[in-house]
Structure 1
Amino acid sequence: MTEAAGKTIDVAVFGAGRIGRIHAANLARQPGVRLKYVVDVNREAAAALAAQHGAQVADIDGALGDAAVGASVICSSTDTHSELILKSSAAGKAVFCEKPVDLTLERARACAEAVERAGVVCMIGFQRRYDPTFSALKARLEAGEIGTPEMLIVTSRDPGAPPVEYIKHSGGIFKDMLIHDFDIFRWILDDEAHTVHATGSCLSDPAIADAGDIDSTAVTIRTKRGRLCQINTARRAAYGYDQRFEILGSAGMLQAGNVKPTEVVAWSKTAVAQDVPEAFFLERYRAAYAREMAHFHEAVTQGVRVRTTVADGLKALELAEAAAQSWREGRVVTLGA
């Protein structure tokens, strides 16, 4: 889409759940953006979100068939992502889509090819790259502050597992949860995986194991340049949403810590206490979601190249597939062999 600066941009939002509501609100803050349609199988949720932003409720064909709509923002369930990317790109709409592109590599590759053929903007929602702390660390790393990067350690823990019914249709922990960590790995080290070894357990709820999934993982990646990455994840952290990483370089180390509700620290004779991390990802990445949608707006209106592309989504999915295979088969998986 090539609207001139200052012209109104009509947008269709697909999905009126919690992330759809966040993206819609952040879109509404962008200059010249008009939320025109909300599409959701839950008509009541769609109507509520549409009313909040002066939009209309529509179905997929109605929203994409409107030539005035310049962008699709896809926040619906994972099993709808690839279909909506394909239809939106075919209709000439710019696309923002939450991760993952799809649960299968075949469909994800088809999406990447369709986007390239259509020549439309397509941005994937890896919001962690837009987090102020993570972005600052990346900038300092690129400036050479710690020399050559050698090892990345990522900690990624949720405060609790999602409902088992969700897990059954999520594609598994590697595609649903670790896909963000795989993207962080590629972004921070600016390298690609050569080998992946993943192991995991179910430690919080036997029903997760019954659903064929795990809730705790340990993943080791060796890159094509010999660098190392360790990722530890858990679906249960009693103290809050734990998101941090550190990168060791030839001349030092950089750490990116958790975000807390406040930075107040209480000192007493018996202890030093501070706030636990934010309760969940919606709070933890509040600023990241806002910056992410502002970047999409810039890409659509000013031609800025998106920082999280459909190719990034495909690469993260390839790593998730390799990790799942490694866990299932109990062996190291080599990529690109």
Structure 2
Amino acid sequence: MNIGTRAGLRMGKATRDAFGEALRDLGGVYPDLVVVDGDVSNSTRTEYFAQAFPQRFFNVGIAESNLIGVASGLAASGKRVVAASFACFLLCNAFDQIRMGVAYPRLNVKLVGSHAGISIGEDGPSQMGIEDVALALSLPGVAVLVPADEHATRAATRAMLEWEGPTYLRLGRPPVPVIYEPPVDFVIGRAFRLREGNDVTIIANGLMVAMALDAAEELAARGVQARVLDMATVRPLDVDAVIAAARETRGIVVAEEHLHYGGLGSVVAMAVSQHHPCPMRFVDLDDRYAESGAPDDLLRAYGLTSERIVAAALELTERI
């Protein structure tokens, strides 16, 4: 995946790999931690935990609704529960069970959706979780985390396990550039300011953070200084960081690997409209499903690129 090169970033691990390693390591820290998976542990990487703690791992098979029922029961009995599957299987297939069995009673279930976005590539639209953030945000009280690299993911996994209440952690399949050096101070509800700038702000999460940094380099070459915020927590949103961006720069570009409606762009726009209206642009999947293809080809075809971020930022700065 040819992203992060302009910003001088080296390629690292996939966030799903970092999650699996962190979960295994944290199994010894939290004796009450149990993991439930929907027969995809070799993909979600919960297999690492299963190998280390087989008595605390449960494979319920290809039955996501049952997975949530088991997870909620374990949480109601006092366990710290991770329930993992592909993002689309978990949020789309088992939404009603998550709604009534996890969100409504506010149980301590940690939902983990891997293979999110179109960057899963050749598996195609049936397995692309592109509405998952919107679905998670529609459930009251569910924290939503979208880390950008392997080190942020490890820190996010620990933060998720220490957070009291339901949480959704979104993970990707392909390797992504390394943005952070450990240890990462991941605080749920706080954005990371990665680059200073007073002309325009780029707010991104997931793999779009590396593209935002690439875009900022290109914009700097054109005389436009871009602030870059990694909004790794979509809820609770870092409203203060959004307000500061709206006040101190000339506009905001939001970049995410998600549908146009209901994701990061929507919650940032709500905060902007409530506190300090400013011009905004959105780089996302628009209002459409994708198709099967190589990850790089799909990202280019659907406009999830640093070039599109640059174009959106230039449009903002030139129109004001």
Superposition TM-score tier, normalisation by shorter sequence:
0.3 to 0.5
Q: TM-score normalized by structure 1?
A: 0.36
Q: TM-score normalized by structure 2?
A: 0.37
Larger Rg: 1 or 2?
Answer: 1
